[in-house]
Amino acid sequence: MTANTLFYIIIAILIINFIVDKFIDALNAKHFNDILPKELRDVYEDTEYKKSQRYKATTYRFGILTSTFSLVLTIGFLWLDGFEFVDNIARSYSDNTIIIALLFFGIIMIGSDILTTPFSYYSTFVIEEQFGFNKTTIKTFILDKLKGWLMMGVIGGGLLALIIWFYQFTGQHFWLYAWGLVTLFTVFMNMFYSKLIVPLFNKQTPLETGSLRDKISEYAQTVGFKLDKIFVIDGSKRSTKANAYFSGFGNEKRVTLYDTLINDLEDEEIVAVLAHEVGHYKKKHIIFNLMASILLTGFMLFVLSFFISNPLLSNALSVEIPSFHIGLIAFVLLYSPISEFTGLVMNLVSRAFEYQADDYAKNTYKAEPLITSLKKLSKNSLSNLTPHPAYVFMHYSHPTLLQRIRNLRT
């Protein structure tokens, strides 16, 4: 195989992925105006349903625009030898392989983010604002960008530097050391993400003593689930949309409730949502997902180890001097069909896990408060209640609202 052939394979992968995604999106869009099933007719009033339809249509059209821009930008960058241009810039500042790679990825990531920021701004301050979701200020928007770049540089740059260092000293066996590093980092982040990263963006406060905390503690005791750390996060700082999540293991285990969730739901509904999350813990879903992520990462690094030394990868991107960072870019583009397949499998597993967690909540608490909470959350986020089955298969990590309600009522 020649470098030219590999280049066209990369272009073909990008175009085929785009066509498939847009086809699935178009199928889904045809269902935006479907009549709601009887189980869901109490979610929206007529005016609210029309608003949700407008929101879906608006985000669909905007999605076409942003994804088309991304495709054209990527193909144009490849066609005009953009990676060679950036690689030359990085090499003009240093002869050190690690520094060259960090400069290269820094330019690519920040440049890409700057080019897509207008779309992000429009989504936040026009679309989300128009439909009543946005609470983000310009100051918060800018600070989030700067903090994101800082984290990318410190954490992402640090991991990349170590992986390249492993490659320099161990050659083809670098993947084992890189896998060990990524595994340690993944476990660490699962343990301490809420304590170390979240405070950079949001304020977290312990849930105050009262009826809600008492009900949560009472439920936790009935199922033998120790839960002392319950926090409220100021999600309303950015959006009216609500959420809740568990994080950490052992003594670092905590539940975080968005303040918007507390405002939108009754106490019983919040407990039902947490019962669902407890179900994920009790059914070992958290451990499974963590192990699956680690194994998939190991597999990718293992495959990468067979190709990274091949100059064909760098030459396919028109870069004459082979390097780890250029080879990595080419490999990620070529690996994307495999990533797409593993993503589909993980979504399939995730949807099965959601049913199991719903069943756990139904059997250890109550089904009806969970149903009403799901309806309220769908209503408040103007969710699509009639998605196309193909779109669900490709993109949903959760069953549809209708599927969950029917399962909870059986």
Please tell me the distance from the alpha carbon of residue 151 to that of residue 158, in angstroms, as a whole number: 10
DSSP class of residue 386? S
Strands 244-247 and 254-258: antiparallel
Burial class (CB within 10 angstroms; exposed 0-12, middle 13-18, buried 19+) of 76:
exposed
Q: How many CA atoms lie within 13 A of 401 on its CB side?
A: 25
Which SS3 state, helix, strand or coil, does residue 284 take? coil
Asked if residue 248 lies in contact with residue 304, where contact means CB atoms within 8 angstroms, the answer is no
Give residue 259's identity as a one-letter amino acid code. Answer: D
Please tell me the distance from the alpha carbon of residue 65 to that of residue 119, in angstroms, as a whole number: 9
CB atoms within 10 A of CB 34: 13
Q: Is 87 annotated as catalytic?
A: no
Query: From the candidates 354, 358, 359, 368, which is the catalytic residue?
Result: 358
The H or E element spanning position 221 is helix 211-222
Q: Is 42 annotated as catalytic?
A: no
Query: From the candidates 87, 277, 354, 359, which is the catalytic residue?
Result: 277
Active site residues: 277, 358
